[in-house]
Amino acid sequence: MHSYALRVNTAVTLAIMVLAVLCSFVSLSDHFHASSPHVHLEVLSIDAFQRQKAGNDEVWLTLNISADFSSVFSWNTKQLFIFVAAEYVTPKNVVNQVSLWDAILVSKNHAKFSIKTRNKYSFVDQGNNLRGSDFNLTMYWHVMPLTGAMYTEKQVFSGFRLPTE
């Protein structure tokens, strides 16, 4: 009835239950964390516009990205994965999302920044629809917790247009 094994079993089971309940409470607490990040995206210049051998349009551009994500961090935030995606519609595709730049923010202290950067990943279309086309730039922040559920939020900046030449 009160054997050694039984006591260990009970203690371990209780410990796991308590940990599980604690983890879910910590994860739930993220729902009550209000954040108000500031983001500003700007296209400084279109640096190159070319057609690849395969026939796809490719664009190189310079972005100005300034943001303050410090309010997004809660006690259960391990890191933010932030990225800027170009989003546009073509006759062939209803959705085109091309990630141009990303970064990992690991602490509140480094969550405020402003950088001028070339696109880190190639901005290539499936086809040659980019000339003169409109596109949005969207800043996404993916909140990765110490434990529990992850979530993503975004802010869309619309009204960018690629040159016809």
Instruction: Provide, rounded to whole angstroms, the least separation between the CB of residue 76 and another protein.
Output: 11
Q: What is the DSSP letter of 106?
A: -
Token pair 């006690």: residue: 75
What would the two tokens of residue 108 be?
């509140």
- The region that residue 103 occupies, defined by phi over 0 for left and psi between -120 and 50 for alpha, beta otherwise, is beta
152 near another protein, rule: CB under 8 A: yes
Asked if 62 and 42 touch (Cβ cutoff 8 Å), the reply is no
Q: Which stretch binds another protein (CB under 8 A): 32-40, 45-53, 74-82, 129-137?
A: 74-82
Of the pair 97, 165, the CB lying nearest another protein is at: 97
Instruction: Provide, rounded to whole angstroms, the least separation between the CB of residue 98 and another protein.
Output: 5
| Interacting residue with another protein among 78, 110, 116, 161 (CB under 8 A) | 78
27 near another protein, rule: CB under 8 A: yes
Contacts of 127 (CB under 8 A, 6+ apart): 55, 56, 57, 90, 92
Q: Kindly list the residues in this chain that would bind another protein in the complex (CB under 8 A).
A: 1, 3, 5-6, 23, 27, 78-79, 81, 83, 85, 91-99, 102, 104, 106, 121, 126, 140, 142, 144-150, 152
